[in-house]
Structures are given as structure tokens and as C-alpha cells.
């Protein structure tokens, strides 16, 4: 599944209100960082990650590495933060993407 531009826009809007849950520091994307990120994905689908100035790699590299190692999608980045999205069918309160007008009329 690849996210569309509209889905990424929706997720970036939802991510505005979030506080960073994961911080990547001088160790970079370590096994511990990946473990913390996967633990956070157990209770939510959208995470905000902050890259500290002491991180050994730049934000785009860190975001790509963490997204690949957690099987998630990077939906946006601003400054030293980025958003990761990973669908979780087991959650009770899942993120619901807006439905297009054409899909609504087909259902009726």
C-alpha cells in the first residue's frame, strides 16, 4: 500500500497537534530507537519523531532508515521533526481517511 498525496496531507494535518513521542539522538537509528518506535505503534498509528541536533545523520536519512526498519510510511517532515504512519487493524480508535465524494455516491 502506498499513500496518496491526499492521505499524506490528511495525516500531516492530524500530526500538527501531536507531541514528539520518539527522539533520535547521538546513537542515531539504533536497535533501541527502533524498539521504542515499534512499542509506540502498538497504541497509535501516527507518530511524531524528533531528530536532535546531536544525531549523526541528517533528518532525511534518519526518517528513511526508521521508516524502513519499522515498516511504516514517512508522511511529512518539518524542521527537526517528521511523521511516521503505520496502519494497525487491532486498534479500537483507528485513523479514518476522508471519503471522496465519488465513493460516497457509489455506495448509495
What CATH number matches the domain at 5-87, 3.50.50.60, 3.30.110.60, 3.20.20.140, 3.40.50.300?
3.30.110.60
C-alpha cell at 49: 519523531
The whole-number average pLDDT for the span 72-90 is: 90
pLDDT number for residue 1: 66
Residue 64: pLDDT band by 50, 70, 90 thresholds? Answer: very high
CA dist., res. 48 & res. 79, Å (int): 12
Task: Tell whether the model's pLDDT for residue 92 goes beyond 90.
Answer: no
Task: Tell whether the model's pLDDT for residue 37 goes beyond 50.
Answer: yes
pTM for the predicted model, two decimal places: 0.82
Amino acid at each position: 500500500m502506498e499513500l496518496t498525496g491526499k492521505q499524506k496531507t490528511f495525516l500531516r494535518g492530524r500530526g500538527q497537534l501531536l507531541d514528539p513521542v520518539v527522539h533520535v539522538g547521538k546513537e542515531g537509528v539504533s536497535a533501541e530507537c527502533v524498539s521504542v518506535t515499534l512499542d509506540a505503534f502498538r497504541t497509535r498509528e501516527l507518530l511524531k519523531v524528533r531528530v536532535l541536533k546531536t544525531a549523526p545523520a541528517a533528518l532525511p536519512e534518519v526518517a528513511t532508515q526508521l521508516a524502513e526498519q519499522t515498516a511504516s510510511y514517512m508522511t511529512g517532515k518539518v524542521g527537526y521533526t517528521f511523521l511516521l504512519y503505520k496502519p494497525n487493524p487491532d486498534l479500537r480508535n483507528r485513523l479514518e481517511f476522508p471519503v471522496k465524494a465519488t465513493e460516497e455516491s457509489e455506495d448509495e
